[in-house]
Amino acid sequence: MTSNGKTALITGGGRGIGLAIGKRLANEGYDIAVGDIHDESDVKQALNGLRDLGAEVLYCRADVTDAAARAEMLAAVKRNFGRLNVLVNNAGIAPRVRADILEAAEQSFEEVMRVNLQGPYFLTQAVANWMIEQRRAADEFEGCIINIGSISAVVASPSRGEYCISKAGVSMATKLWAARLGEFGIPVYEIRPGIIATDMTSKVRDKYDKLIAEGLLVQSRWGQPDDVGKAAAMLARGDIAYATGQVVSVDGGLTLQRL
């Protein structure tokens, strides 16, 4: 694939949904910066796979909850590529223990909120300011921000309340950043995945297999990371550029109201 001269930063890009997005964007000609918490040797195969697709790849080991690590990650992207066109806020965690909200620990709430909402919010702040600089320097600059949310923003799961609240916050953050960045021509979107086959959902595979078999979804199958990757590629290309602030649900019809 010939480079399109653009760069995408994907947090949590070493596996799962983030890696699938990276592959799709690499196929579109993007160079890829992967931000993740794992040692680089643990994601070497994934990074090489992106390189095999023609992308120049930079790995940044960074915890999105750490302000200094976020700043160094962006500095590394700037040193290596000199530009950033797409930010994908994908890094996220589920509670370490699923607990009824009558009993859930405050520590779990704080951890999930910092990873899923606070870190991405302030990473977006830093990236947005850089994108504004790039836009002011060149009228032809094209940028966008994509937040990976969840159906849990609108579907209540009392056994993981902190996760639901964090993703509801991501949804509002999308609207806020879309409203603020509109004057600079930088669209902001939310992709809202449903039941996707990833490490996060592997522990509840049997539960969702049963629910899917019983008709939970309109499209009766597990979602795959590449289903989300395709949606991200569409947004990065600007296929719906006149739709900033909108949600793209990739959930097999789970949230479709039915009688």
Enzyme catalytic residues: 163
Write down all domains in the chain, each with its CATH number in brackets. 7-249 (3.40.50.720)
Q: What is the pLDDT of residues 119-132, one digit of tens each?
A: 999 999 999 999 99
DSSP, residue by residue, 80-132 = HHS---EEEE------SS---TTT--HHHHHHHHIIIIIHHHHHHHHHHHHHH
Separation of alpha carbons 143 and 249, rounded Å: 21
Q: What is the pLDDT of residues 43-76, one digit of tens each?
A: 999 999 999 999 999 999 999 999 999 999 999 9
Average pLDDT over residues 242-258: 97
103 token code pair:
């009993």
Q: What percent of the chain has pLDDT over 70?
A: 100
Give pLDDT, residue 199.
86
